[in-house]
Amino acid sequence: MKSSRFNNVLKRLVAGIGLSASLSLTAQALTQNIDASFRPDAANPQMNKFRNDTPVSGVCAGHIPARCKALNIFTIRDAAFRAYSNGPILPGADLRNTAMFKVPSEWRPLPVTHGTTGEVETVEVRIAGIGHRWDLPRPPGVAAWGLPGPPPIDWMRRWLDGVAPCVGTNYIAASTSLALFFWLVPENAGACGMAPGTEIPRLSYNHLEYAYELRTPNPLTMSTGNYTGSITYTMGPGQDFDFGDIMIPTDNLYTFNFNLSVQHTLKVEVPPGGQRVELLPQGGWQAWLNQGRKPTRLFRDQTFNLSASSRFKMNLECQYVSGNNCALLEPNAGHVVPLEVSVTLPSGLTDASNEPVNRRPLRLDGVGTELFQPGIYVDRKPGTLHFEVARDEVEEMIKQGVSRHYSGNVTVIWDSQV
């Protein structure tokens, strides 16, 4: 009876200890900021991509920069990472009980959100390489590399060459008790790892080096400002960053915080005197004055230079209005005539249907000019505003022996707030 009571108390005590232990476990996390920016470059208008502004460290910084550039990858060496073996690494062990590496090499999407407008775009990221500094402990009275005898040559050589599906980079920096290595990881690769030829009682990783590759959205379709978002990877046995069942990281989460900065250009340059538009008949007024031929229309084409790296819309504001158009007023007679305004945009800019913009009417309701978008950065390319009074209205404006002067203010607006 006493034994039964003792066992029940022991069970409750063990259960209480187990509960207490589980409550004390907290997630430990590493973080890394990834910064990228887009600013249009007049010297390279076809380059419509984000630039990675995150400082590069590790092998891409000094050992294989040309190869990293060709692969479009970037490396970061995180000195805060630690992992320790929970047992020996044995010769001939299965993969999970060796020095194993499996990283999230597949593409993963994450949303980034504009801080003001709430617009959401998608960034994709994958881990494209893995490396560490591993160390062998050196207890007193044991050879420098932590084991009796010299370091196994096969073990050291394979850190240099890599183990499939990982690919060696011909990089290793080693002594008798430590080594720095780096392997490339192909897209959607599985685990890679190796067992030593000699038992290794203990092993530690004293930093984490990884390469990442990015796919960023098209900046020409994005609004000016900052887009932020994050993605969190798990770390540990069976997780996103998986180092097998022997090597256990001290942190179990790794968060990447993304900040994409977009700085667009939308600039319109009108040549000197271009703000004052004088409507004339074809060939000027001489044909009417000398030959009595009435003009069939009055018009003026006013050129401008446009720089644009972002979508925009166009609108009109009018001093005088006629229907959906601006108008010109003759104050003495009180006569108003509609003024037709249209725009031709430079090559590289299209409308919402991806059609070129040629003599597109500008209306007060904005219909037809709600969205223009660049396919490339357009830098100081010429466009044209077309102003015209149609033939039927000209007939009414021109009266024999009557002097009339028509005028009106028209404001053409290029608006990047789309």
Task: Assign 224 to helix, strand or coil.
Answer: coil
- Calculate the average pLDDT of the chain: 86
Within a domain: 58: yes
| 43 shares its domain with 135 | yes
| 299 shares its domain with 244 | no
Within a domain: 4: no
Total of domains in the chain = 2
Cross-strand bridge partners of residue 335: 330
| 233 shares its domain with 275 | no
| 118 shares its domain with 135 | yes
pLDDT (0 to 100) of residue 152: 56
118-137: pLDDT as tens digits:
999 999 999 999 999 988 87
Task: Grade residue 354 by pLDDT with cuts at 50, 70 and 90.
Answer: very high
Both tokens of residue 63?
């050992």
Q: Are 126 and 106 in contact (CB under 8 A)?
A: yes
| 6 vs 87 pLDDT, higher one | 87
* Closest residue by Cα to residue 302 from 412, 414, 415, 385: 385
* Closest residue by Cα to residue 297 from 281, 285, 284: 281
286-333: pLDDT as tens digits:
666 655 667 778 999 999 999 999 999 999 999 999 999 999 999 988
Task: Assign 268 to helix, strand or coil.
Answer: strand
For residue 347, give Cα distances in angstroms to 266, 308, 355, 358, 386. 15, 11, 11, 10, 17
Q: Of all residues in the chain, what percent carry a pLDDT higher than 70?
A: 87
Average the pLDDT over 30-58 and give the result.
92
Within a domain: 274: yes
| 292 shares its domain with 254 | no
Task: Grade residue 285 by pLDDT with cuts at 50, 70 and 90.
Answer: confident
Question: Domain containing 321: what range?
Answer: 266-415
Average the pLDDT over 374-394 and give the result.
92
pLDDT at residue 150 tops 70: no
Task: Grade residue 140 by pLDDT with cuts at 50, 70 and 90.
Answer: low
| 54 shares its domain with 110 | yes
Domain end (from 262, 294, 321) = 262
Average the pLDDT over 81-107 and give the result.
94
Average the pLDDT over 262-283 and give the result.
90
Q: Of all residues in the chain, what percent carry a pLDDT higher than 90?
A: 68
pLDDT at residue 7 tops 70: no
Alpha-carbon gap, residue 125 to 110, rounded angstroms: 8
Please name the residue ranges forming H helices in 279-411. 286-291, 391-397
| 235 shares its domain with 142 | yes
Within a domain: 19: no
| 252 shares its domain with 293 | no
Domain end (from 224, 241, 262) = 262
Task: Grade residue 20 by pLDDT with cuts at 50, 70 and 90.
Answer: very low
Angle (nearest 5°) at CA 282 between 325 and 318: 20
CATH number, residue 320: 2.60.40
DSSP string, 355-374: -B-SSEEP-TT-TT-S-EEE
Within a domain: 35: yes
| 340 shares its domain with 390 | yes
pLDDT at residue 94 tops 90: yes
| 245 shares its domain with 300 | no
Please name the residue ranges forming H helices in 25-100. 59-62, 65-71
Alpha-carbon gap, residue 366 to 5, rounded angstroms: 86
Q: Provide CB contacts within 8 A for 263, sequence distance 6+.
A: 37, 38, 39, 224
Within a domain: 223: yes
Task: Grade residue 28 by pLDDT with cuts at 50, 70 and 90.
Answer: confident
Within a domain: 338: yes
Domain end (from 226, 244, 262) = 262
Task: Grade residue 401 by pLDDT with cuts at 50, 70 and 90.
Answer: low
Amino acid at 93: A
Within a domain: 174: yes
| 349 shares its domain with 299 | yes
Task: Assign 198 to helix, strand or coil.
Answer: coil
| 388 vs 25 pLDDT, higher one | 388
pLDDT at residue 151 tops 60: no
Cis peptide before 165 (omega within 30 of 0): yes
pLDDT (0 to 100) of residue 21: 28
| 306 shares its domain with 258 | no
Average the pLDDT over 248-253 and give the result.
96
Task: Grade residue 22 by pLDDT with cuts at 50, 70 and 90.
Answer: very low
Angle (nearest 5°) at CA 264 between 263 and 265: 135
**Looking at 21-35, 103-117, 330-344, 393-407, which range is the least confident one?**
21-35
